[in-house]
Amino acid sequence: MNQIVTLDEFIIQRQKDFPFATGELTGLLRDIGLAAKIVNREVNKAGLVNIFGLTHKDNASGERVQKLDIYANERLIGCLKNSGECCGIASEENKTFLPIPSLESKSAKYVVIFDPLDGSSNIDVNVSLGTIFGIYRRVSESGQVVLDDFLQKGNQLVAAGYVLYGTSTMLVYSTGKGVNGFTLDPSIGEFCLSHRNITIPKTGPYYSINQGHFNKFDKPMQKYIHHCADQGLGLRYVGTMVTDVHRTLVKGGIFIYPNTSSHPDGKLRLLYECNPMSFLVEQAGGQAISCKMERILDMKPTELHQRTSVAMGSPMMVDEMKTFLKKAKAMDKIRTA
């Protein structure tokens, strides 16, 4: 039998990669792993208990919030508050950031940003959901955290990851030295290393986009979508970013959420969704850009709930999309001149 490596064992082993590590990041990652197990338990039994349904409250971006979102948000906040390693939290479900007063004399140096339950429109229909997180070192010296601690570029991420509540539950994370995936073994209640050093294929068989919004895309994007179909690529779209990006990481392909006429800046959030997922995709050898062709991780956030268009995935496919869109935009300019 192969030696089982649990998430906790792996995180502790990997601490050696950072010679001056104090164990705080290790503790924080373990706490997120624990929160993931608690959320997973609830996600799994959601059909059995009366937890489904809308709360009839809106989240900070004005969208309908569902009960399980709130549960996941509260559990994550609870675990991070107790950890003692985290001095501030920003969640997609909260309008502003939450400072965490330091425990006893300890002064924590990390802030955590997360989307507690990604794909919430899929809750009621038993389709996979996710949790996305990113960890930054605070930039303010001491005392209570400030907005600038959260408005950092993605290229400053110390670690990022996601939990995928799918046919099995997986936690995938990176501390900037490759990407590793762990599958929850429910019989022992542990995440076990199942996907060592995930590397995205250079190209892949799928494009992933909500094609129902086709009429709201700009012309060059519409042409690119036709081009994907002409190439014989398969269309795969779950509507949970974590799931769509996870498939893209493992099988190769391209995931796109472009700007649309109803969401001119894109729909997905830079801090809570795009930065952590872009960090992982790049760590796995892929690329992540906006539809304005900027590298996502180099974008300077100006507000917590900022949105962006995004395209990420296999490096050759993102490169090809860039070339295609540049040409299509140039042709459009000539035609309208």
Q: Does 69 bind Mg ion (CB under 5 A)?
A: no
The site partner of 14 among Mg ion, ligand AHM, none (C-beta below 5 to 8 Å per kind) is: none
Q: Looking at this protein, which amino acid is placed at residue 22?
A: T
In the chain, what are the helix, strand and coil shares in percent, each to the nearest 5? 40, 25, 40
The site partner of 240 among Mg ion, ligand AHM, none (C-beta below 5 to 8 Å per kind) is: ligand AHM
* Number of chain residues interacting with Mg ion (CB under 5 A): 2
Q: Does 115 bind Mg ion (CB under 5 A)?
A: yes
Q: Mark the segment that binds Mg ion (CB under 5 A) among 16-24, 47-55, 78-86, 107-115.
A: 107-115
**Chain positions contacting ligand AHM, by CB under 6 A:** 63, 115, 118-121, 210, 239-241, 257, 267
d(CA 124, CA 58): 17
Of the pair 97, 272, the CB lying nearest ligand AHM is at 272
The site partner of 210 among ligand AHM, Mg ion, none (C-beta below 5 to 8 Å per kind) is: ligand AHM
Q: Strands 206-208 and 234-235: what pairing?
A: parallel
Asked if 331 contacts 299 with a C-beta cutoff of 8 angstroms, the reply is no
Of the pair 45, 64, the CB lying nearest ligand AHM is at 64
Q: Looking at this protein, which amino acid is placed at residue 301?
A: P
Q: Taken in order 25, 146, 37, 297, is the CA torsion positive or negative?
A: negative
- Residue 169's beta-bridge partner residues? 165
Of the pair 66, 152, the CB lying nearest ligand AHM is at 66
Candidate list 69, 85, 93, 118; residue touching Mg ion; CB under 5 A: 118
Rounded to a whole number of angstroms, the minimum distance from the CB of residue 269 to Mg ion is: 7
Token pair in block for residue 337: 């001149």
Of the pair 46, 268, the CB lying nearest Mg ion is at 268
Q: Where are the alpha helices (DSSP H) in the chain?
A: 7-14, 24-44, 67-83, 219-230, 241-251, 275-283, 315-336
The site partner of 200 among ligand AHM, Mg ion, none (C-beta below 5 to 8 Å per kind) is: none
Entry field: residues in the chain? 337
Token pair in block for residue 144: 């209570």
Query: Which chain residues interact with Mg ion by CB under 5 A?
Result: 115, 118
